[in-house]
Structure 1
Amino acid sequence: MSEQRRIAIALGSNLGDRLSYLHRAVDSLNQLLDGLVVSKFIETSPVGVRPQPAFLNGAVVGLSQDDPSRLLKSLLAIERQFGRTRPASGSPRTLDLDLILVGAMVVLQPDLELPHPRFRERLFVLAPLAEIAPTLVDPITGCSIATLFRKAKSRSER
């Protein structure tokens, strides 16, 4: 039997009824992960993309024995259930689910990189994660989410 690992997932939506999409996505994630903890949702401006509506972002942390590839497939299936299409990178979306951490696993595959390669710079990921899992550790840097959040916030205020 595989061990349960702490899974961190970032959620976002900037099309349609954003709050409803996020609440319904949390319901779906509750079926996928045990002991789900959910952050508050925060409104954020889109970063590094063409002008588009503001996002609602949040995060969840839960437990799973599933391997990372299976988790990713499940997240993509949930996105499709909510009408997510991928016409171009950075396009507005009804739902975005990003697999951020799977325990202390480090994965480098063409379709999956863990930890998520850009999460350390993204306040819209780190702020909700710091709320619900400040002691969760990035296996690459050895830093806690709380520390990564403080560092990213400090950089953004310069």
Structure 2
Amino acid sequence: MTDNKRIALSSDHAAIELRQAIAAHVASLGWEPVDIGPTTPESTHYPKHGEAAAKLVASGDCRFGIILCGTGQGIMLAANKVKGIRCGVCSEAYSAKMLRQHNDANMLSMGSRVIGEGLALDIVEAFLSAEFEGGRHGTRVDMIMEIEG
């Protein structure tokens, strides 16, 4: 695993405040947030924000990405279209931990209209502190990556 401590952060208009709270939190944990999301509340399109963050992760510029929209679903779908990205939506910490341990996910998505700030920060910590277990999970991740060609 790389020692890159950069995390791409993006969202649509629905999650600006939560994204900014996450940026401050990951910085307090020793990570460098790369916040590319909008800063004003005008409606914006989540696919472009998911794609932009995913490209930073896929290129290796950022080790991980954390993206948000109202539910976390739409922005996650966009991010997963970028080759090399494994992103899942989590609304509790156990799934975030498993997303890293079993799926070697490099991006996390959350819904700002689904969870509150305290829970979001717990989910982020679970995601960032977990390590990929490899083994049989590595075989399965390889199978997933073969699907994208």
TM range (shorter): 0.3 to 0.5
Normalised by the length of structure 1, the TM-score is 0.35
Normalised by the length of structure 2, the TM-score is 0.36
Structure showing greater radius of gyration is: 1
Higher relative contact order (Cα pairs below 8 Å, separated by 6+ residues): 1
Q: Going by fraction, where is helix more abundant, 1 or 2?
A: 2
